[in-house]
Amino acid sequence: MNQKKILLLGRKHSIQKEKVDDLYHALGSHVPDGYSLSVANYNELIFDIQPSRTKVFLSTTGEDLSSFDLVYMMSWYSYVPTRRDIAYSIAIYLKNRGIPFINDEAYYNRSSSKISQMLLLAEHNIKVPRTVFSLSAAALINYVGMQPALKDGKLIVKDALASRGASNYLCTFDELSSLPIGRKESQPFIVQPCIPNDGSDIRAVVMGYEIKLLIHRTGSGESHLNNTSQGGKAELVSEEVLQKSTIDDIINTSKLLNRTVTGIDVMRDTETNEYYVLEANALPQLATGSFVDEKMQKLAETLVNIIERERTT
């Protein structure tokens, strides 16, 4: 008979009174026959996020978290959003695969970084770039090095908590180790393939779960970034420039994240003509940046519509 597997997941170093290793050693002798107990740290995890192909596994053993019958997550309650977001990501991953986890509240967090955002969207088959993440720089670089589709092309490496193009790098695999990945938990980095593009993207301004404006942004040419805050140029375009599937992805992204007002960035792959959702911004530069008057007009209309709708229900 196959043993039922229990995983205790925590931090390698914790200032909390009870550490995951303490629980592992205390609990071990009480686990009945037919059950096995394992322990691991968050920095052993690797997330490889792709629509319909996401996997979250231990770099040390290769075991997928979904291969366990129960995962007990410890030491994720913190002022540092990284751990909370990792716990939220794990909870989404396990719940979608019918694997119980402790504590249930991890599932009822909000997305606070690009880690959970990409995983949540990929789990619902929203077209997002392949995204690889680990708290361990060594594990991350080693894994990327084993993926020809990543190793042999240009990479985008960015701080999962940053916005407006901050800490966002275009590099090759050989340059990965020179970047500040894995240096501190409060600055987690994700690795993505660089999407073949024409130096532009589109910011969809979503309000009331509807697209109100589409802003086509073109980079300055001095870097790979298209953000207007990084010197890019902007123009308004109509929804006709987007495929229906992309419009659906934008609306579904705002709904999945429960972001009534958000700015969702999409980029066209010039080789396949498909659009990828890059991220959904919780603070989408409404009162700053480009086309402020247009954004304020749409926001005012949205606020009034929400009030009037509530009055009639």
Closest to 23 (Cα-Cα) out of 38, 1, 43 = 38
- Cβ–Cβ under 8 Å, residues 185 and 115: no
Please tell us whether the domain made up of 4-121 is placed in CATH 3.40.50.20.
Answer: yes
Domain topology for 131-193: Dna Ligase; domain 1 (3.30.1490)
Domain boundaries, the chain: 4-121, 131-193, 200-311
Residue 174: predicted pLDDT: 95
- Per-residue pLDDT 10s for the chain (313 aa) are 689 999 999 987 666 667 899 999 999 999 999 999 999 999 999 999 999 999 999 999 999 999 999 999 999 987 678 999 999 999 999 999 999 999 999 999 999 999 999 999 999 999 999 999 999 999 999 999 999 999 999 999 999 888 777 789 999 999 999 998 877 787 899 999 999 999 999 999 999 999 999 999 998 666 677 666 656 789 999 999 999 999 999 999 999 999 999 999 999 999 999 999 999 998 899 999 999 999 999 999 999 999 998 877 6
Q: What CA–CA distances, in Å, run from 201 to 228, 229, 249, 251, 274? A: 11, 14, 15, 17, 12
Residue 207: predicted pLDDT: 98
Classify residue 98 as exposed, middle or buried by CB count within 10 Å of its CB (0-12, 13-18, 19+). exposed
Q: Which residues, at least 6 apart from 172, have a Cβ–Cβ distance to it below 8 Å?
A: 154, 155
When the candidates are 1.10.287.1770, 3.30.1520.10, 3.30.470.20, 3.40.47.10, the CATH number that belongs to 200-311 is: 3.30.470.20
